[in-house]
Amino acid sequence: MSRWPIFSRYADLVLLAILLALVPAFAAGSPYYLRLATLAVVYMGWTVAFNLIFGHTKQLFLCVGALAGLAAYVTAVLSQQLQLSPWITIPIGVAAAAGLGALFSYVSVLRGLGVIFVGIVTLAFSLIFQNLVLGLRQFTNGETGLVTRGLGFALLEHPLAAYYLFIVALTLALVVYSFVMGSRMGFAFRALSDDELTAELSGIDVTVCKVIAAALGSAIIGMGGTLYGFYNGIISPGLFSFANVDIPVLISLLLGGMRTRLGPVIGAAVFAVIEEFVRPFGQLNVLVDGLLLIVLFIAFREGLVVNVRKALGRTAMLWPTWLPALAPDDMSNARPSGKMSPRAE
């Protein structure tokens, strides 16, 4: 496609990073909007991870918030109680999240749990996590929350620097995602998400694929969680609740388009904007959220990215050939709905 294959594959990520980096200029120095943008980037990262876990390997992990919270609390508690530097505690927190995610995945595959079951089990875990944090008051400070300011991650206490750090983290996550999806494992993921039994019969080790996807995704989630924990200055169980994290992430992913590269990012961005518009409605904003959810899903069934692609596809001839962002990440979204696998006649 071009003379610099590596460049063309990551070109859109670089573009994205630049675009995001320019946002503070529009924030006009308002700390409120900068914080909004930062939060949006954090959620983008979580949505990318969820895309990996659910979009590509069909594991409905309804515990994104809990995993992020787990990493955040582990890191914060260790930093506070043992006076350890974040350089040590953050990897531990991330490892905890990754390990737990991998465990859920492994057990689910072992027990042959279907999508709903995985969803319910992880949902149960989300609720357990909430109660655990509240119950282990002596470590976590319960509902009052644990202060993370001053625990050693000074960079994140500076709003603008924090924003750019999160952009770097997001780009890193996307690079990892692209790398994995471009590799043989990514190919296996595509086969898996299409037809798991056939994939298994073709020699793909479904267990390994799912567990790795879960571990990787959970690691990214944990990373986001710990960094967010430090950035926020204080962590509390409500921050990582199902309603606060999992629902926006789910909506963002479906809005942007599952199994696409930039879908999660765009979805999260659009969702953040929508939330802002809905805020002035006060108590009714939940109602508006619901209406939007319904309307958007009926209108944009496959997610924004696919629909935009289709719209742009008609103007494809005008676009420069080195812009790979419009190339489909996998063909599954091109499949007509109500799939039927052609059976032997």
Partner 1 sequence: MIVRVEGVHASYGPALVLRDVSLGVSPSEAVAVIGPNGAGKTTLLRTIIGMIRPTQGRISYDGQVCNGLRAFETARLGMVYVPAERELFSGMTVLENLELGSYRNFRNMPERLSFVFELFPHLEERRQQFASTLSGGEQQMLAIGRALMGCPKVLLLDEPSTGLAPKTVAELYRQLARLKTAGLTMIITEQQVPLALSLTDRAYVLEQGSIRLSGKSADLVGNPEIKAAYLGVT
Partner 2 sequence: MTATLFDGIVQGLQLSLLAAGITLIYGLGGVLNLAHGQFAVLGGVAAKLLLDRGAHPMLAGISGIVAAGLFGLLVDRSLLLPAYRYRGEERLLLGLILTLGLSFVIDGYLNYVFSDFSLTLSLPIASVQIAGIPMRTAGLMTSLIAVMVFLALFAFLRWTLLGKTIRSIIENEVGAELCGIDPVRTRTIIVGLATMMAGLAGIAQGLFSSLGTEMGPGFTILGLLVAVVGGVRSINGALVAGVFLGIVNAFASRYIGAYVAFIILLATAMATILLRPSGLLARFT
Q: Where are the beta strands (DSSP E) in 172-316?
A: 234-235
Q: Determine, following the binding rule CB under 8 A, whether residue 107 of this chain makes contact with partner 2.
A: yes
Pick the closer one to partner 2 by CB: 34 or 306: 306
Residues 192 to 231 in contact with partner 1, rule: CB under 8 A: none
Pick the closer one to partner 2 by CB: 298 or 317: 298
Q: Determine, following the binding rule CB under 8 A, whether residue 325 of this chain makes contact with partner 2.
A: no
Nearest distance from C-beta of residue 184 to partner 2, angstroms: 26
Q: Which of 5, 31, 182, 290 binds partner 2 (CB under 8 A)?
A: 290
Report d(CA 189, CA 317) in Å as an integer: 31
Nearest distance from C-beta of residue 194 to partner 1, angstroms: 12
User: Is residue 220 a contact partner of residue 49, using CB atoms and an 8 Å limit?
Assistant: yes
Q: Determine, following the binding rule CB under 8 A, whether residue 120 of this chain makes contact with partner 2.
A: yes
Q: Determine, following the binding rule CB under 8 A, whether residue 3 of this chain makes contact with partner 1.
A: no
301 to 320: interface string for partner 2, x by CB under 8 A: x-------------------
Pick the closer one to partner 2 by CB: 95 or 134: 134
| Beta bridge pairs of residue 234 | 147
Report d(CA 237, CA 141) in Å as an integer: 10
Name every residue whose Cβ is closer than 8 Å to that of residue 151 and which is 6 or more positions away in sequence: 76, 79, 80, 86, 230
Pick the closer one to partner 1 by CB: 6 or 344: 344
Q: Determine, following the binding rule CB under 8 A, whether residue 274 of this chain makes contact with partner 2.
A: no
Q: Pick from 274, 180, 24: which is nearest to 192 by CA?
A: 180
Q: Determine, following the binding rule CB under 8 A, whether residue 342 of this chain makes contact with partner 1.
A: yes
Pick the closer one to partner 2 by CB: 39 or 133: 133
CA distances for 228 relative to 31, 46, 77, 180, 290, angstroms: 16, 11, 15, 25, 27
DSSP state of 342: P
Nearest distance from C-beta of residue 297 to partner 2, angstroms: 5
Q: Which of 3, 25, 82, 112 binds partner 2 (CB under 8 A)?
A: 112
Query: Would you say the C-alpha torsion 19, 217, 247, 279 has a positive or negative sign?
Result: negative
281 to 320: interface string for partner 1, x by CB under 8 A: ----------------------------------------
Q: Pick from 40, 12, 4: which is nearest to 268 by CA?
A: 40
CA distances for 151 relative to 84, 142, 157, 161, 243, angstroms: 9, 18, 10, 17, 28
CA distances for 223 relative to 74, 96, 229, angstroms: 12, 10, 10
Q: Determine, following the binding rule CB under 8 A, whether residue 206 of this chain makes contact with partner 2.
A: no
Task: With contacts defined by CB under 8 A, name the span among 182-190, 227-235, 287-295, 331-339 that binds partner 1.
Answer: 331-339
Q: Determine, following the binding rule CB under 8 A, whether residue 279 of this chain makes contact with partner 2.
A: no
Report d(CA 134, CA 144) in Å as an integer: 9
Tokens encoding 69: 């919270």
Binding stretches for partner 2 (CB under 8 A): 107, 111-117, 120-121, 123-125, 127-128, 131-132, 134-135, 243, 247, 251, 254, 283-294, 297-298, 301, 337-339
Binding stretches for partner 1 (CB under 8 A): 335-336, 339-340, 342-345
